[in-house]
Amino acid sequence: MCRIRLWSFRSRTPLEVTWFVDEATQGERRIVRLRMGNFADARGHPADPLVAIVARLGAALNSDNPTGLVEITRFPFAFGAHTLERDEAPMLWAALRMPALQSCLARGVPVRAGEGVGRLDCEGTVFEFRTAADGRWLFAGIPKTR
């Protein structure tokens, strides 16, 4: 059995492939296990503020009210071509509670895209994070969706 860990180039999702060489089929490789995401070391250290804000965003979207989302969001919020204000946070919270996005927030690996800018690409929906004047990371927008 052989195993390798790597990153998919498109979505930066960590992958783990386990396979064996099948002598009965002229040495073809047979994949016996393919895992995506959720490795202990894949997301980075939880003390990294960018990793921590992504985890807090996931927790806020899994909660029963939008209060947690408001606490970590920079307003005005860029939502594609629209701008949302603080009083529209419940609408934003409801729009982002899709299982696919929550799964991505749980397994995705945020990347620094410049000084004070971080991004997480969830299959075409880009979550953008920026640092505030006090150095805290905040959820700043979703500049791009499919």
* pLDDT the model gives residue 26: 83
Which amino acid, one-letter code, is at 40?
Answer: A
Tell the burial category of 27 from Cβ atoms under 10 Å away from its Cβ (0-12, 13-18, 19+): exposed
Write phi, then psi, for 105 (nearest 5 degrees): -65, -30
* CA–CA separation, 54 and 25 (whole Å): 45
Which amino acid, one-letter code, is at 131?
Answer: T
* pLDDT the model gives residue 77: 94
* pLDDT the model gives residue 119: 94
* pLDDT the model gives residue 34: 72
* pLDDT the model gives residue 132: 94
Tens-of-pLDDT digits for all 146 residues of the chain?
555 555 555 556 667 677 778 788 888 887 777 766 655 545 566 678 999 999 899 889 888 788 899 999 999 999 888 899 999 999 999 888 887 788 788 878 899 988 999 999 887 889 999 999 999 999 999 987 65
Write phi, then psi, for 54 (nearest 5 degrees): -65, -40
